[in-house]
Structure 1
Amino acid sequence: MIRGLVIRPALASDRAGIREVELQAFGQAAEADLVDALVANGDAVLELVATQEGEIVGHILFSRLFVEADEGRVPAVALAPLAVRPKRQDSGIGTALVEHAHASLTHGGDSLSVVLGDPAYYGRFGYAHERAAGFVSDYQCEALQALAWGEAPTTGRLVYAPAFSDL
């Protein structure tokens, strides 16, 4: 447990703080713009913030993703982005956000999460490229990883929210 860390759903009043965290963490506006677009378009499935002493120090967003397969269109989620203020990185905040989010998603009935990120980092949570290798995706590479909780497709085309096409 990280002293004083509170993880909670993002609020409309958090938008400026979330944008600031994204800008600081990534050093560019692309991820912050993606978050703004996903939220504005109603594609966010789960969005959490981590706060310490009232300051937003971390943020995670999962958006709706679909797997188009022979059996039809199956809902899944895409983890993007995960951000922690640079001064607070390597303190466990990102891990706490991912673990809290996964618990919420599985409780809500989601069965598949996909991420494009560092395999060493996301592998700690069970994400693996091997689980994502059967998917057709514009982002197919070693960094494309998936994590399934129960029954979930292993093949098909990944269809991301429209905001991803602007990256």
Structure 2
Amino acid sequence: MIVRRERPADVGAVDALHRAAFPTDVEARLLAELREDAGFLPHLSLVAVDGDDVVGHVVGTRGRIEPHGVPAVGLGPLGVRPDRQGRGIGAVLVHALVAVAEATGESLVALLGDPAFYSRAGFVRASELGVEPPDPAWGAHFQARRLGGPEGRGTFRYAAPFDRL
């Protein structure tokens, strides 16, 4: 298995993967909207490929920490083909996205997800870093990892398509 940047030829396989990995099509629809949004960061749309098969995908999009508009990355959606789940593919994709984000000068990656899973990749409750979730009810499930650069404090805002969920 290798992890690489998503290519235009992968879009159909990535869409099918997200539709299979989740009980509804919300993630697949969100991803389609993100690709058309100004917040889409093509270098942070990564696929895990085994031979010719796309078996996992993760995307990071432009977020901001308000009120000062400090740039940050919002991770998600992350999906792994159901027949390949539980084999570490999701973890590899998260680590790869964080590595690319750090190498390209991003200061923070934030996400909504399971603390037990994401803590293994160095994520902590975002409020510990002075970053509050868009929805306070998210609590410990809203997590972040500081990478360097300006330490924005405030409320995290995802790319616009997330607001339409």
TM-score when normalising by structure 2? 0.90
2:69 counterpart SS class: strand
Structure 2: gaps spanning 5 or more residues: none
1:9 and 2:19 are equivalent in the alignment: no
Cα separation, partners in 2 of 1:132 and 1:42, compared to 1, 3 Å: farther
1:138 counterpart SS class: coil
Cα separation, partners in 2 of 1:125 and 1:79, compared to 1, 3 Å: same
**How far apart in 2 are the matches of 1:116 and 1:6?**
25
Percent identical = 34
Q: Which moved more, 1:60-69 or 1:152-161?
A: 152-161
**How far apart in 2 are the matches of 1:103 and 1:94?**
14
- 1:31 deviates by 0.5
Instruction: Give the equivalent residue in structure 2 for 1:20.
Output: 16
Cα separation, partners in 2 of 1:99 and 1:121, compared to 1, 3 Å: same
Contact persistence 1:131–1:154 (CA under 8 A): no
Which structure 2 residues correspond to residues 62-141 of structure 1 after superposition, within 5 A?
62-69=60-67, 72-129=68-125, 131=127, 134-140=130-136, 141=139
1:100 counterpart SS class: helix
- 1:103 deviates by 1.1
- 1:154 deviates by 5.3
- The amino acid across from 2:114 in the alignment is D
Deviation readout 1:88-122 (Å, 9 max, x if unpaired) = 01111111111111111111000101010000000
- 1:64 deviates by 0.3
Instruction: Give the equivalent residue in structure 2 for 1:153.
Output: 151
- The amino acid across from 1:91 in the alignment is R
Contact persistence 1:131–1:147 (CA under 8 A): no
Residue-pair matches, total: 161
- 1:133 deviates by 6.9
Contact persistence 1:116–1:139 (CA under 8 A): no
- 1:22 deviates by 0.6
